[in-house]
Amino acid sequence: MNNNLKFSIIIPSYNECDDIRLSIDSAIKQDYQNKEIIVVDDSSDNTPKIIKEYADKGVNLIIGPRKGCCGARNLGMKSASGDIIVLLNADVSLPPDFLSRIARHYNDGADYVLVEARAFNLDNLWAKFIEMQHRYDMKKIGDKAEWTEGFSCRRQAALDIGLIPGDFSARFCRDWLLGKRLWEAGYKKVIDYSIIVTHKSPDNFKDYWRVRKARGRFGSLMQYFLYKKPLPFLFFKFLVKDVLFLLKFLTVFPAVIKTVKISRYSDSPFKDFFPFFYAYFIQEIARAVGEWEGLLIALKIK
């Protein structure tokens, strides 16, 4: 194996004092030595202080552009010196042989590599539901995936396609567009789901609601800013979606079918069915609230 490949592990962080050690510690413990670790931080808490504790272990701190996680990732990719970039969230932990295993794919000609991600904190309803829903979704997506936790690609390829696109007046996640644009540009994708990174999922109602609502808000903003959907169109689209959501739960049967499909991935599907049904219901309410919040943000900016 060609050990001359240099990896740049890039971690965007925003008030991640509870989780940042997960990603940094796992990056330091890689058995592949030719690497650099860059944390791009936008925090207002003591996260930068924690990052600085790792300075003597080769962790580089960059003060972020305060343009959200996409802006932080782009700054990290521009600042990196490696041949291959690895993009991590602060709550993601890599197995010690992660770089060695993906290096084999790059030595064989891969331009970007997708891996599997699993939540490690499954002792609560919220994280367990998110994880089982993820497994259900990934079964359907299969080799059509363009983004996963632990995403990596050749740095030059990312630069050539212009990194993660867009600098909008409202922040919303669009990291997955990096993989999509690499695919559209003809770069070689490799998916290796035998490589598993672990991450922390929301483990309480407050965080679950916040994260699920944010997904709805990001989706709304993405359609307006990225896909140029007019506000009246989005208004009626969300109205129809919410009516269908209410019908799905009022008639019970469609929601039950979806919950059954997700529960099958649990180690105790019968026991988890009713808690999952509840979590699914809360998720859909949070999604709807988030979409309307995004619409209001777009309306104020217009």
The radius of gyration of the chain's CA atoms, rounded to the nearest angstrom, is 20
What per-residue confidence (pLDDT) applies to 2? 56
What per-residue confidence (pLDDT) applies to 44? 86
> Measured between alpha carbons, how far is 296 from 302 in angstroms, rounded to an integer?
10
b/e for 127-157, b at 16 or more Cβ within 10 A? bbbbbbbbebeeeeeeeebbebbbbbbbbeb
Element (H, E) at 8: strand 7-13
Between the alpha carbon of residue 288 and those of residues 64, 194, 247, 267, 271, the distances in Å are: 31, 35, 14, 30, 28
Closest to 291 (Cα-Cα) out of 172, 138, 132? 172
Give the residues of the chain that fall short of pLDDT 70. Answer: 1-2, 302
Q: Are 202 and 133 in contact (CB under 8 A)?
A: no
Amino acid at 51: I
Q: Are 7 and 84 in contact (CB under 8 A)?
A: yes
Q: Residue 41's beta-bridge partner residues? A: 13, 63
Hey, what are 293's tokens? 């919040």
Question: Count H helices, E strands: the chain?
Answer: 11, 8
Q: Are 23 and 102 in contact (CB under 8 A)?
A: no
Q: What angle do CA 140, 146, 151 make, to 5 degrees?
A: 120
pTM as predicted: 0.93
Half-sphere exposure of 234 (CA within 13 A, CB side): 25
What per-residue confidence (pLDDT) applies to 197? 98
Amino acid at 121: N
Q: Is 261 helix (H, G, I), strand (E, B) or coil?
A: helix
Q: Are 259 and 276 in contact (CB under 8 A)?
A: yes
Residue with tokens 């042989």: 97
> Measured between alpha carbons, how far is 86 from 201 in angstroms, rounded to an integer?
20
Hey, what are 290's tokens? 């988030």
What per-residue confidence (pLDDT) applies to 94? 97
Amino acid at 157: A
